[in-house]
A = this chain, B = another copy of it.
């Protein structure tokens, strides 16, 4: 299928489409995870029809054992296959830290290059319906350990494109999906293979007054803030990072050099979160260009509360307020 044929898809559909394309092209791809096979096709429907099409040898509904899901993915990689280890919720990656961060992320280095371990861990975060143990966005744990790519798409096309790129990457990757975005946005996505390079940010809005850096679900917050700021005559560049490792510092620097002001926003806890690295790095490189400090709007320093009236996540109002501090 030529890349030009497109279809309107949600992120869930785009991810599913990405698996179909990738598994057709590469019979070494194997999927492991709880409930990933039919008749369910994944509790988020992202693996729909795959077991029917590719068989339950390649699409395995596993026992509830995230460590072994991840460890098997590592073993499959060492055995010449490429496994996707699906972890139902981001918080459950606590159980894959050993295999992914002590093993997959280090195997290439520890063996002097002899054993690259390209696995893909996928997971979902974003709901507060389940309380504090099904809600933490811990991408910074993975960023902090050298050796693994970290992606967090915010649109259907990027979701498919990053998924397919990760499935061809020579290195391990983590691809995070957000349950609030999975079914809510639709856009035209290539039906055939589609790739988005790692480490290339996307400018989703242009402006010369301030740079708002974001990724994943917070991109919508950033955009809403930008629209609101425009009413007050402040035009924002909004950057969707798409991947955090590698992180497109050149694109961020280019924008901040131009605007002289920057606010970073993400759902992950602000303290010791991804924005801290980005802010520190911008400041290191562009100190004399800055009109004020790089500011952050991240998750509050609390676990996820269950009650809907308690909100720890960024809002466009919080972002607007931070931007205005810079003027």
Contacts and interface: CB of A to CB of B under 8 A. Distances in A.
Nearest to A307: B112
B95 A303 contact: no
B277 A109 contact: no
What is the oligomeric copy number?
Answer: 2
Contact of A91 (B102, B147, B268, B305): B102
Nearest to A273: B144
A226 to B, nearest CB: 21
Interface stretch (A44-52, A114-122, A130-138, A181-189): A130-138
Interface in A296-316: 296, 301-303, 305-306
A283 B293 contact: yes
B145 A132 contact: no
Main secondary structure of the interface of A (DSSP, over half): helix
A97 B141 CA distance: 11
A275 interface: yes
Contact of A272 (B109, B277, B285, B301): B277
Interface in A242-290: 268-269, 271-277, 279-281, 283-285, 287, 290
A275 B280 contact: yes
A63 interface: no
